[in-house]
């Protein structure tokens, strides 16, 4: 068996400083373990926030310095003595004073306090409040919520945010409005804000002295001159405004409402304003019309000697004329109110219609049962009959049986309208015979004839008949050439 000896190059090669490195590592680990084993556990409570830490410090003050907590004179530490050994306490509590800026009476000062309310902070700062003063606060006194953590240094213990307290001093002022005087207190910086806070509603036209933007000061007198509400109705619109003016015309001038021509207002322009007044502007306009109306023509009668009696003929045709009128039409707010005839004249005169009536008398002969008779006119008449007993006169009356001409009532006497047949004329009525126009009657007019009878031979008539007027022909002055219907 052959044995070969190993050379140094064939053996395991280790770094020359490996042993030293291993030894150093062991020593460090031993020291760390020893250091950790000797750390003392401590609970640190800062402003209600809790941290659990371990320390080699011996006193409370050394612990707080070790964790980097800087204390102010106003801060509180429990236990109170910073030299208290840590081995005698379980926890260390720190209550830092809260920074508070207090602004009052034109000054601002920084305080550190343990007060938890605004009232306590102001009391410590010896700032008193009056009943109407107001306090404005920015920030909170209450510490942040509790939290538990583990840290070597309490870097998370952030200093409290400062609280800003501003005291607004109320100043008295006197309000003069509508004859009333009232005293108020306010913290408002300006006149306008002070009036708003007391609940005063202002309109744009209201007058305020001093102005709304003026600074408030103690004892200030504020005068409010109220405007009057006004309603203006013009041109189909309704304008609502307020004014300090006294008369209607002044209000309209402010609103640039212009009256022209005959425009007027209700109430009148010079009227003084009253509460809740309504002003109406009436727009007046006029225009002229030319109207043409017909003028009726007249009818004139003219005797025609060549035309037989009871006949008519047209001698001249009539024509209507034209009457022109110039009319002024008056409008108010577009509605017609009145019309007035300014002038009128006959533009075309009417033409009179001329009718000719016959005046020529022709005597003719009529054969009758009693023989021929001569007549000069025939009139169609409505015939009735009567007797003394039916005439309506009492038998005891002295006029009983007497006619208008004084003759005794009998057959042969007829009653007529003297304007149609002259009295005492002789007439012939077929079926009756000859009669004399000797009577009249209240119902006998125009073409009516009442045939007379004796009481014992009365024959009733009620029909139209031809009545012949017998010769001799009466004088022309007694003849009615134009008979009515």
Three-state SS sequence of 152-171: CCCCCCCCCCCEEEEEECCE
Helix (H, G, I), strand (E, B) or coil at 90: coil
CA distance 425 to 70: 161
List the CATH code of the domain at 287-357.
2.20.230.10
CA distances from 156 to 49, 65, 144, 151, 201 (A): 10, 15, 12, 9, 53
Evaluate whether 121 touches 165 at the Cβ level (below 8 Å).
yes
Evaluate whether 173 touches 183 at the Cβ level (below 8 Å).
yes
Who's near 22: CB < 8 A, 6+ residues apart?
A: none
Same fold, 171-225 and 287-357: no
Model-level pTM greater than 0.75?
A: no
Helix (H, G, I), strand (E, B) or coil at 28: helix
Evaluate whether 11 touches 110 at the Cβ level (below 8 Å).
no
Number of Cβ atoms within 10 Å of the Cβ of 230: 24
What pLDDT tens digit does each residue of the chain (485 aa) get?
A: 334 444 444 444 445 566 666 566 656 555 555 455 557 788 888 877 887 887 878 887 787 787 877 888 888 888 877 778 877 777 888 888 889 999 988 889 888 888 888 888 888 888 888 888 888 898 887 554 444 444 444 444 566 789 999 988 888 989 998 888 999 899 899 989 888 998 988 887 788 999 889 998 888 999 988 888 899 999 999 988 888 888 999 889 988 999 999 999 999 999 988 878 899 999 999 999 999 999 999 999 999 999 999 999 999 999 999 999 999 999 999 999 999 999 999 999 999 999 999 999 999 999 999 999 999 999 999 999 999 999 888 988 989 999 999 999 999 999 999 999 999 999 999 999 999 999 999 999 999 999 999 999 999 999 999 999 999 999 999 999 999 88
Evaluate whether 252 touches 265 at the Cβ level (below 8 Å).
yes
CA distance 348 to 337: 31
In this structure, which CATH number among 3.10.20.30, 1.10.3720.10, 3.60.10.10, 3.30.390.10 belongs to the domain 228-282?
3.10.20.30
52: β partners = 43, 150
Q: What is the DSSP string of 419-447?
A: TTS-TT-EEEETTTEEEEEEE--TT--SS
CA distance 325 to 161: 98
Evaluate whether 400 touches 415 at the Cβ level (below 8 Å).
no
Evaluate whether 340 touches 330 at the Cβ level (below 8 Å).
yes
List the CATH code of the domain at 171-225.
3.10.20
Q: Give residue limits of the domains in the chain.
A: 35-168, 171-225, 228-282, 287-357, 361-478
DSSP label at residue 85: B
- Architecture per CATH, domain 361-478, reads as Beta Barrel (2.40)
CA distance 391 to 343: 60
């Amino acid at each position: 068996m052959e044995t070969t000896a190993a050379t140094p190059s064939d053996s395991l090669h280790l770094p020359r400083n490996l042993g030293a490195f291993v030894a150093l590592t062991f020593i460090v680990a031993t020291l760390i373990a020893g250091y950790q084993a000797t750390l003392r556990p401590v609970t640190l409570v800062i402003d209600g926030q809790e941290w659990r830490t371990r320390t080699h410090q011996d006193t409370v003050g050394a612990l707080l310095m070790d964790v980097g907590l800087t204390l102010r004179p106003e801060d509180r530490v429990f236990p109170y003595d910073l030299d208290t050994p840590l081995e005698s306490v379980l926890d260390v509590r720190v209550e830092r004073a809260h920074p508070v800026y207090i602004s009052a009476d034109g000054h601002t000062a920084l305080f550190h306090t343990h007060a938890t309310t605004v009232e306590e902070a102001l009391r410590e700062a010896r700032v008193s409040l009056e009943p109407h003063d107001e306090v404005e606060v920015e920030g909170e006194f209450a510490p942040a919520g509790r939290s538990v953590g583990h840290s070597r240094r309490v870097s998370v213990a952030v200093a409290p945010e400062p609280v800003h307290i501003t005291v607004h001093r109320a100043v008295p002022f006197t309000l003069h409005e509508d004859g009333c005087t009232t005293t108020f207190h306010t913290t408002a910086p300006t006149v306008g804000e002070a009036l708003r806070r007391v609940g005063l509603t202002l309109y744009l036209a209201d007058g305020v002295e001093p102005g709304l933007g003026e600074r408030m000061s103690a004892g200030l007198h504020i005068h409010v001159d109220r405007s009057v509400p006004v309603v203006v109705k013009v041109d189909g619109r309704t304008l609502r405004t307020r004014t300090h003016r006294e008369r209607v015309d002044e209000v309209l001038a402010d609103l640039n409402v212009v009256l022209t021509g005959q425009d007027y207002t209700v109430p009148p322009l010079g009227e003084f304003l009253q509460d809740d007044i309504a002003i109406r502007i009436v727009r007046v306009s006029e225009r002229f019309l030319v109207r043409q109306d017909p003028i009726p023509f007249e009818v004139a009668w003219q005797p025609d000697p060549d035309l037989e009696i009871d006949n008519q003929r047209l001698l001249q045709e009539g024509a209507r004329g034209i009457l022109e009128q110039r009319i002024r039409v008056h409008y108010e707010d577009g509605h017609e109110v009145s019309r007035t005839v300014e002038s009128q004249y006959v533009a075309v005169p009417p033409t009179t219609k001329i009718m000719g009536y016959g005046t020529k008398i022709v005597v003719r002969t009529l054969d009758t049962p009693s023989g021929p008779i001569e007549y000069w006119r025939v009139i169609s008449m409505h015939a009735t009959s009567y007797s003394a007993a039916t005439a309506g006169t009492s038998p005891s009356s002295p006029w009983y049986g007497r006619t208008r001409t004084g003759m005794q009532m009998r057959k042969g006497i007829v009653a007529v309208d003297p304007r149609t047949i002259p009295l005492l004329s002789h007439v012939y009525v077929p079926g009756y015979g000859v009669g004399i126009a000797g009577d009249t009657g209240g119902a006998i007019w125009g073409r009516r004839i009442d045939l007379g009878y004796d009481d014992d031979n009365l024959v009733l008539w009620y029909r139209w008949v031809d009545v012949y007027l017998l010769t001799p022909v009466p004088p022309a002055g007694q003849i009615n050439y134009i008979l009515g219907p």
